[in-house]
Structure 1
Amino acid sequence: MSTFNFSLRAVALAAALLAPVLAGATNGYFSHGYGAKSQGMAGVGIALPQDGLAAATNPAGTAAVGNRYDLGLTLFAPSRDASIVGNAFGADASYSGNNTSTFLIPDFGYTRQVNPHLAVGLAVYGNGGMNTDYSANPYARFGATGSAGINLEQLFISPSVAYKVSDAHTFGAALNLAYQRFEAKGIGLFSGFSSAPGNVSDKGVDSSTGVGVRLGWLGKVTPQLTLGATWASKISGKFDNYKGLFADGGGFDVPENYGIGLAFEATPAWTLAADVQTIRYSQVGSVGNSAASLFAGTPLGVANGPGFGWRDVTVLKLGVSHQLRSDLILRGGVSIGNQPVAESETFFNVLAPGVVTKHLTLGATWTTPGGGELTGFFAHAFGETVNGKGSIPPGNPPGFGGGNANVTLKENIIGVSYGWKF
């Protein structure tokens, strides 16, 4: 009972810390991985559970990591920039979206082996997010006032259960309890193109809650090779304060996502792992619908209305770990994904430039003399620019003077965690 009470207190603390500070963008606006060990290997984890955050990637991994706690803290430092060129309403100009430049993101994981076949766990983590903060408003030439930007935060609390049906196969399930927060400012000019003009911009922080599920499987097909698969449902979300901005009256669902993975123990000291993950952004109207319909006369906020035009993202993650000493493991990884933002959709995505597609990561775990595990990682998302192509409409309506918006993003991420077994 004391262990259970400690777990509840730790979850409450982690949730309280996460909610007001979470923001990020890596694979679209999903994190590149969950848990410091996974993040040091480019986010692989579907077939390679390593700590108490395993259920955030594959809940079947809850039965593979033993009895443990993990607490982590990540410093996320994105660099967001935009430019508007060839526009009739003003000279070419560049804008920095980095008025808020760094974010601290904590996480928490707990797993417990109930019996040789059954394990339970709890993961508290940020699923990603998006933030831009422009002190000089890129839309000022079109009539916008004040500073501009958005802030999207997503917190997940995921209790999980895993059952080992045989020595080779484990199945798992997790509830995904999602809490989202959103705020937009400085984009009031779009009120004239909205079905609810009073609910487009500067409405403060709005929140949304929803519930989904994640299912997973782990299979040890040979003594050296483990395979895994995972699927997470779409989670409904809605921001009523911004029903004039987002499609479907403020709808903002967490997209369905799924993936497969493998882990291969090449030698007792070397493990190779790979994941392929797909995130279905296109199936969330406010994210996936094209802004072209706005420029053709469809107002913001209506059913199946205009959105940010994001495509689905598929990411290949490759990771390696090496047991250098009995108390030291080294890690590394790379990931490559496709571009979610089309050249024609950059005008809206000045607010949400989730355009990075390549990550390089390094990490290590030192086991202390007392048995604790101190893990650190560094991830770099290589800078990427999407140059607009016909992205700003020239004529009436709506008459934005043509030209293009260009968006740029790069990121550095540093994290540490401490895990202990019980």
Structure 2
Amino acid sequence: MFRKSFAGAAIALSVCCTSTAMATNGMNLEGYGAKSHAMGGAGMAFDTGNSAVMNNPATLGYMKDGVSEIGIGIRGLHPNVDLNYSGMTDESGATGFYMPSLSYMQKDGNITWGAAVLSQGGMGTDYGNDSPLYQGGYSDASDANDPILLSGKDIRSEVGVGRVMFPIAYNLTENTTIGVSADFVWASMDLQMDMDGMHFGMMETGGSMLPTVTEGTLNYVRYDFSNGTPFIGSAVGYGTGFKLGFTHKLSKLLTIGGTYHSQTMMSDLESSNAKLTVVNTVDNTARTQEVSGKIKVNDFEWPATFAAGVALHPTNRLMIAGDIKYVDWSSVMDKFSTTFVADNTTANGAYAGKTLDMSMKQDWRDQTVYSIGVEYKATKRLALRGGASLSTNPVPDAYLNPMFPAITKDHYTCGFGYRVTDDTKVGAAFSYAPKVTETNGEGMVISHSQANWSFNLVHNL
């Protein structure tokens, strides 16, 4: 009874505390769990502990029969995003994201089962309310010699995705395991963004509100839905997904493994506490209208992933592991699409009850990630780890948006595992992603680097 109550309370607490994350490999983290993280994100063909539920659920079958354990973890991500445009510079103030994780696993005979919750990934930036790059723009009737002022308010974005997972692994034979995980997924978003009239005109737009928005000369439109909490964004959606996996020990030297993570099936992300500010000029008179309503982020999904890997054991103390992952970003990141529905109130004036659709092209490419890691057992209690994660950049330069600069590629990792007692062990990892610099279709130079860490504690109950 104690075990079940403790695990249930831990999972409920983690759901309340899971925060948004910053992009590393696209919007995925470069590794899940301190062991995998320290080994470059590899984890298809060896025991990665409770974090196997996010790597390859089949490797949970490596637990010892009769063991049950609780795991807690914390992940820190520290991105550095810089912008440069026409001699003006700025940097994102979103430099720290912290994400807890909790898990409970138990093995009974050939079956391992349990539950876990963690943040899967996301991205975010914060340029504050004094950014020189977001003070001015151009109306839909302006040229480069006729700039207009924007709102001067906060410019920020934050996207986060989390999962509650229920895995089962089964030892088919002494050498072969299979695993599956049923996942409950949630995603959330905050967005505070000015869009000048010129750029608004470049978007795919529609809806009954559009003629009123574009009446006269449109100066800018401001989107604002944010709840000010680091734990979950204002616009939220829910859905499901699943994972399948296997491992097979070919010999004492070599084990292989693979997994498939399905694309999610999510509801649209919705917030009923959104604001749309429209500033236009009609008959030489400036007109500002703040409109309250509901925002929907349409068709937000997390992509399918295919992964395979090997683990080599040249000696009892040394393990070398390598994975390859294929992430199907192109199926889910073709465009960023929203629908705003104005409240049908007198305060909203001519906009009451009307809708505005906006779609921004993204056209992300599929991503290939190569992971390699090494573990050396220095003593019976201490394991030293290192590795690297090398990937392609999924974001095309032409559509790179400074609000969503998911362009980091390579990560270099290290860490350790230490058995404190027979029942308690800890793991820690650190990774560094060197700066990647790209120039988008408008000539803005965007740079992004990261320093990340993770810590896990596992205790046998």
Matches within 5 A, 1:371-410: 371-388=423-440, 391-392=441-442, 404-410=443-449
Indicate if the aligned counterparts of 2:33 and 2:454 stay in contact, CA closer than 8 A. no
Cα distance in 2 for residues equivalent to 1:140 and 1:266? 60
Question: Structure 1 residues 386, 270: CA separation in 2 closer, same or farther (over 3 Å shift)?
Answer: same
Cα deviation digits, residues 352-384 of structure 1 (max 9, x gap)? 111110101111011113531121111111111
Richer in strand (by share):
2
Indicate if the aligned counterparts of 1:278 and 1:314 stay in contact, CA closer than 8 A. yes
Of 355-364 and 55-64, deviating more is 55-64
Question: Structure 1 residues 216, 370: CA separation in 2 closer, same or farther (over 3 Å shift)?
Answer: closer
Q: Which residue of 2 aligns with 1:123?
A: 116
Cα deviation digits, residues 283-320 of structure 1 (max 9, x gap)? 01xx23499xxxxxxxx956xx5332321111000000
1:235 aligns with 2:233: no
Q: Which residue of 2 aligns with 1:331?
A: 385
Q: Which residue of 1 aligns with 2:88?
A: 93
Indicate if the aligned counterparts of 1:340 and 1:355 stay in contact, CA closer than 8 A. yes
Matches within 5 A, 1:149-168: 149-168=156-175
Cα distance in 2 for residues equivalent to 1:249 and 1:319? 38
1:101 aligns to what SS in structure 2?
coil
Structure 1 residue identity aligned to 2:126: D
1:420 aligns with 2:459: yes
* TM superposition shift of 1:209: 0.5
1:186 aligns to what SS in structure 2?
strand
* TM superposition shift of 1:122: 1.6
Q: Which residue of 2 aligns with 1:140?
A: 135
Q: Which residue of 2 aligns with 1:55?
A: 53
TM-score, with length taken from structure 1: 0.85
Cα deviation digits, residues 167-220 of structure 1 (max 9, x gap)? 121111101211111011023436664335799720231101110111111111
Cα deviation digits, residues 34-73 of structure 1 (max 9, x gap)? 1111111111111122211111111112211343221111
1:8 aligns to what SS in structure 2?
helix
The partner residue of 1:260 within 300, 308, 330 is 308
Indicate if the aligned counterparts of 1:361 and 1:379 stay in contact, CA closer than 8 A. yes
Q: Which residue of 2 aligns with 1:5?
A: 5
Q: Which residue of 2 aligns with 1:180?
A: 187
1:73 aligns with 2:102: no
Cα distance in 1 for residues equivalent to 2:42 and 2:29? 12
Structure 2 residue identity aligned to 1:113: K
The partner residue of 1:206 within 235, 250, 263 is 235
Q: Which residue of 1 aligns with 2:141?
A: none
Structure 2 residue identity aligned to 1:93: M
Q: Which residue of 1 aligns with 2:38?
A: 40
Indicate if the aligned counterparts of 1:188 and 1:202 stay in contact, CA closer than 8 A. no
| Equivalent residue pairs, number | 384
1:311 aligns with 2:365: yes
Query: Percent same amino acid at aligned positions?
Result: 24
Cα distance in 1 for residues equivalent to 2:371 and 2:334? 24
Q: Which residue of 2 aligns with 1:195?
A: 206
TM-score, with length taken from structure 2: 0.78
Cα distance in 2 for residues equivalent to 1:374 and 1:359? 22
Cα deviation digits, residues 133-164 of structure 1 (max 9, x gap)? 01216343325422212100111111101111
Q: Flag structure 1 segments of 5+ consecutive residues without an equivalent.
A: 86-91, 292-299, 393-403
Indicate if the aligned counterparts of 1:51 and 1:109 stay in contact, CA closer than 8 A. no
Indicate if the aligned counterparts of 1:383 and 1:411 stay in contact, CA closer than 8 A. yes
Question: Structure 1 residues 51, 137: CA separation in 2 closer, same or farther (over 3 Å shift)?
Answer: farther
- State which structure, 1 or 2, has the greater radius of gyration over its C-alpha atoms: 2
* TM superposition shift of 1:249: 6.0
The partner residue of 2:334 within 266, 271, 288 is 288
Question: Structure 1 residues 144, 218: CA separation in 2 closer, same or farther (over 3 Å shift)?
Answer: farther
* TM superposition shift of 1:415: 1.9
Question: Structure 1 residues 191, 345: CA separation in 2 closer, same or farther (over 3 Å shift)?
Answer: closer
Cα deviation digits, residues 385-414 of structure 1 (max 9, x gap)? 1123xx12xxxxxxxxxxx12211111112
Instruction: Give the alignment's Cα RMSD to 1 decimal.
Output: 2.5
